[in-house]
Amino acid sequence: MFFSNPVNPFPSGNLPTPAAGVRRFLFQEFRPLRAVVVIAVAVTILGALAEVWLIGYAGRLVDLLAATDPATLWSDRGPELLTVAAFVLLVRPALMLLGEVLDDITFRANARPLARWRAHRYVSRQSVGWFRDDLAGRIATWVRDGGDAAATAAYSVIHTLVFVTAYIAGSVWVMSAIDVRLLLPLGAWIAAYLLLMALIVPRFRRASENLQAAESALTGLLVDSYANIDTLALLGGTDARTDHDRRVFAEARQAHLRLQRVEVTINSSMMALGSALLVGLVGYGIVLWRSDAAPLGLVAAALALSFRITSMAEWLLDAVSSLFGAAGALRQALRTIAQPLTVADKPEAQPLVVRTGAIRFHQVSHHYGRGAGGLDRLDLEIAPGERVGLVGRSGAGKSTLVGLLLRFHDPEHGTITIDGTDITDVTQDSLRDQIAMVAQEATLLHRSVRENIAGPAASPGLAAATTPSPSAPISPPATSAPSAPMSPPAPISPSAAASTTTASSAASSPSATASPSASSDDVRIGLALARASADFVGSLRDADGRTGLDAHVGERGVRLSGGQRQRIALARAFYRNAPILVLDEATSALDSESEAVIHETLSDVMAGRTVIAIAHRLSTIAGMDRIVVLDDGRIAEQGTHESLLARGGLYADLWSRQSGGFLGASAGLSVAEDPRRG
């Protein structure tokens, strides 16, 4: 239906960068609704002129009744009165109904979700580094409120400003038809009104923007406090924290007070102007009537119009307040949501095709714009199927290297290639599809276990119809004529799953998490969970009664223990079955017995894959094909575990400190030098 669904409010595909200015943004965002806007404006103008005409006709009717014999009224004026009655009973309500439908159902009900969706789609394409520079709650607030503000601003223009402007223009026409001299007090009032707006609106805009900034800071405080309540509890200092919070709340209150003072000034000024208009028109109308320059009915109509204009001016003032409040909120939102993408796909970017899994870092430097830290002219080549461990002190560049490989950032200098293809020449989605990662901090989405493993497409009703059979090997996507294909990864089969866990017999079967009638995708998820020794999933039950794979894990996985979250993260990597595997202390949250089981599984999963493993506990990567030691963003040394120990360099020093005991041989080691930290 056109009125409910004039456009698709949730378009797919990449959307352009939001325009930075409010007007340009509104034109850009609501371009799909331009036909609706044109029709709504036309209907609004017709509705305003109809209201003016009715008041003017009411004055004419008074004069007509005064000049017509009641006995002949119907015969003389019947057709005219019937026409007016039909207009009042049919046309006017139809215009009002059409205007309401266009404004509220066709425009507002689509404009708000359209603006929100477009902002969300664009912001979601920002780099991980971009999100780390701001509060997640603040970004979410601007995406949500920016859409609301855009819809409110556009609605204020279409529904109120257009209506009032058309009404005043119609009133000028009616009054000029009565007596052009009636325009003198009306013209003086319009001039005074515009002057008042010119003086007050800038103050109102500044006050609105200040209020939005203060409210944004307050939202950021609340989200930060509630999301990190455990950290605040450990920090203590309740009184100092209360004082800090009180200051933020007080700043929001002061900003609101400043805005209210401006509104009071505007309201009192408008009341004075309205009173002056009424006195001027009433007095001048009486003068015209006494001099027989205008009939009483039309003078009364002019006075009625003046009353209506006065009340409408107050309505316009409210609309202007709403408009500039929305514009202030939108301007604040655009400072966040309209920032250029820090990492963007090239227009000609193609999907990445991984044939062998060879990775090369060539003269890569990245210092996060600070000139120091990160990586510095790093050269590293990783052969297809090679298992490489990364070690080094905190800040040596290990996480930076992995972040650049995943294109969380683009290097400031140098290139990174996979099978000879520069990763900046391929789409980010296809790049990350070829890399499975298990991070040290396994944070999860506040969604079901199923979605945390297989992604949102695995939610009920959205699962892909073409899911690989669990009985067949799950290999990287097929490519056209690979010159040097990777050796096939180990298939996820029930027998393989059973061999990877001794902790629970339930974990050795996909039925631990999937019913006998489960989809092949659920069976595949169950097998991945079995490999990760995640037998606890079958007993999960959330507050809403959802169980097993459907159970929701809470915000950032808070309903699970650290070890359970890490098992889910491992299962995600097993499920993805990507040709490149990145491990960042992937078993750090597990107990020793579970870690030993998982390491056996990881050894099996690593077969035929290119592996990069960040190690804080050096014993976990001692069996890697090669160990690369980073120091100050460069490769300090590399080789096998045995060769590095024999060399007696940085790696040997780190190894001796760990093997000697944290409180033994390395008792004097500072926290910054602790090799067990990132």
> What pLDDT is attached to residue 651?
92
d(CA 194, CA 320): 12
Q: Is residue 507 part of a domain?
A: yes
Mean pLDDT for the chain overall: 79
- Residues 316 and 368 reside in one and the same domain: no
Which residues does 556 contact at the CB level (< 8 Å), separation at least 6? 443, 444, 446
Final residue belonging to a domain, choices 544, 561, 577: 577
Final residue belonging to a domain, choices 554, 577, 600: 577
- Residues 302 and 321 reside in one and the same domain: yes
Q: Is residue 370 part of a domain?
A: yes
- Residues 250 and 139 reside in one and the same domain: yes
Full strand arrangement of the beta sheet holding 634-639: 435-438, 580-584, 610-614, 387-392, 626-631, 634-639
The one-letter amino acid code at 420 reads G
**If you count them, how many residues does the chain have?**
678
Q: Is residue 1 part of a domain?
A: no
pLDDT band (50, 70, 90) for residue 588? low
Q: Look at strands 634-639 and 626-631 and give their pairing.
A: antiparallel
- Residues 331 and 393 reside in one and the same domain: no
Q: Is residue 588 part of a domain?
A: no
- Residues 408 and 508 reside in one and the same domain: no
- Residues 429 and 442 reside in one and the same domain: no
The one-letter amino acid code at 670 reads S
pLDDT surpassing 90 at residue 128: no
Q: Is residue 401 part of a domain?
A: yes
CATH number of the domain within which 385 lies: 3.40.50.300
384 versus 672: the higher-pLDDT residue is 384
> What pLDDT is attached to residue 365?
94
d(CA 279, CA 125): 60
Q: Is residue 664 part of a domain?
A: yes
pLDDT surpassing 70 at residue 500: no
pLDDT surpassing 50 at residue 613: yes
399-408: per-residue pLDDT in tens?
A: 899 999 999 9
- Residues 135 and 105 reside in one and the same domain: yes
Q: Is residue 114 part of a domain?
A: yes
405-440: per-residue pLDDT in tens?
A: 999 999 999 999 999 999 999 999 999 999 988 887
Q: Which of 323, 113, 333 is nearest to 212 (CA)?
A: 333
254 versus 138: the higher-pLDDT residue is 254
pLDDT surpassing 90 at residue 625: yes
- Residues 571 and 637 reside in one and the same domain: no
How much of the chain, in percent, has pLDDT values that exceed 70?
A: 85
Q: How many domains does the chain have?
A: 3
- Residues 189 and 320 reside in one and the same domain: yes
Final residue belonging to a domain, choices 577, 592, 617: 577
> What pLDDT is attached to residue 473?
33
Full strand arrangement of the beta sheet holding 413-418: 375-382, 359-366, 413-418, 421-422
Q: Is residue 482 part of a domain?
A: no
- Residues 292 and 363 reside in one and the same domain: no
Range of the domain at 646: 354-434+629-678
Global confidence as pTM:
0.69
- Residues 361 and 331 reside in one and the same domain: no
- Residues 500 and 458 reside in one and the same domain: yes
